[in-house]
Structures are given as C-alpha cells and as structure tokens.
C-alpha cells in the first residue's frame, strides 16, 4: 500500500516537472519589451551568441546576393550552406529553453531555408528563383526582428 502511494506521488511529481519544462520550452524567458516587442531575457553571453549568429546569417545573405550578382552558383551555395542547419546544431539546450517556441521555429526555419538555397544553387536553379528563395527567408528575418528583442538579464 505504501509503495503504491509512493509510486503515485512520484508519478505526479514527474508529470508536474514535465509540464513545467514544457511551459518554459514553449513560452521561454520573456517579458514586455521597451518598444512593443516581446523581450527575450538572456544572460549577456547568450545574447551575444544569438546576435553573432544573426550577423552570420546576414553575412551569408550578403554572400548569396553577391554570388547572384556575379552568377556564381558555387558562391551562393557556399554562403547559404554556411548558415544552414549545421550552424545551429551546437546550441546549448539551456539557451534553447529560454527562447519562445515561435522564436525557435523562425530561427530554425531560416537555417533550413539556407540549406534549401544551397541545394537549389548546387542543382543549377536560375538566379531569379534563388533570389526569390532568399527574399522569402529575409521576410522571416524581418518578422522576427519586428516581434522580438534580446534583453540581457541584470
């Protein structure tokens, strides 16, 4: 009888733990931003890491545009693949838990789009099609920056 009660308590604690983790995984560590956007609250080093990744995405986009301007499919593929899913593979799970689900979805979809642009360039898709793909990806970037700001925890 005692072991059955103990098992029930353990199960309830496990369910509560999973529910709390799921809540934070979906919601992230957010607060109201100073300009109407939602602020994602991170440690300064985590904020720096995400901003560095965003600068990498911007540099890759510039490389895609330059490659398109020169008609250089290899340059497009190289620039896009440098910002693909492999670039997001080593993110700390504790950091990922702090990011709201929508932020994670947008970020990962941008990395996935970069892989798709690289594949399209490697397969010889025409430049206008590659530029359309890049434009669609940039729309996600603009949407993310319009919705979120990164705030360093005090």
The structural domains of the chain, with segments of one domain joined by +, span 29-152
Res 90: pLDDT: 79
Res 24: pLDDT: 63
Res 100: pLDDT: 93
Res 18: pLDDT: 62
Q: How many helices (H) and strands (E) does the chain have?
A: 6, 3
Strands 30-32, 38-42: parallel, antiparallel or unpaired by DSSP?
A: antiparallel
- What are φ and ψ of residue 33, in 5° steps? -80, 175
Query: CA 130, CA 63: separation in Å to the nearest integer?
Result: 12
Res 116: pLDDT: 98
Query: CA 88, CA 6: separation in Å to the nearest integer?
Result: 41
Helix (H, G, I), strand (E, B) or coil at 108: helix
Res 7: pLDDT: 73
Contact 92, 136 (CB under 8 A): no
Helix (H, G, I), strand (E, B) or coil at 82: coil
How many angstroms from the chain centroid is the CA of residue 99? 9
Low-confidence ranges of the chain (pLDDT < 50): none
Task: Kindly list the strands in the beta sheet with 38-42, ordered across the sheet, starting from the edge strand earlier in the chain.
Answer: 30-32, 38-42, 148-152
Res 29: pLDDT: 84
Strands 148-152, 38-42: parallel, antiparallel or unpaired by DSSP?
A: parallel
Res 76: pLDDT: 98
Q: Which CATH number fits domain 29-152: 1.20.120, 1.10.10, 3.30.450, 3.30.70?
A: 1.20.120
Q: What is the length of the chain?
A: 154
Token digits of residue 89:
């593979």
Res 63: pLDDT: 98
């Amino acid at each position: 009888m005692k072991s059955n009660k103990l098992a029930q308590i353990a199960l309830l604690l496990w369910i509560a733990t999973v529910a709390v983790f799921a809540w934070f995984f979906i919601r992230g560590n957010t607060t109201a931003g100073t300009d109407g956007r939602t602020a994602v609250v991170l440690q300064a080093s985590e904020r720096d890491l995400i901003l560095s990744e965003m600068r990498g995405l911007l540099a890759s986009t510039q490389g895609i545009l330059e490659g398109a301007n020169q008609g250089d499919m290899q340059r497009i593929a190289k620039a896009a693949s440098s910002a693909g899913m492999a670039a997001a593979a080593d993110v700390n799970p504790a950091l990922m838990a702090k990011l709201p689900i929508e932020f994670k979805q947008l970020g990962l979809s941008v990395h996935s789009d970069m892989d798709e642009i690289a594949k399209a360039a490697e397969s010889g898709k025409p430049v206008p099609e590659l530029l359309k793909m890049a434009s669609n990806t940039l729309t996600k970037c603009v949407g993310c920056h319009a919705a979120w700001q990164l705030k360093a925890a005090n």
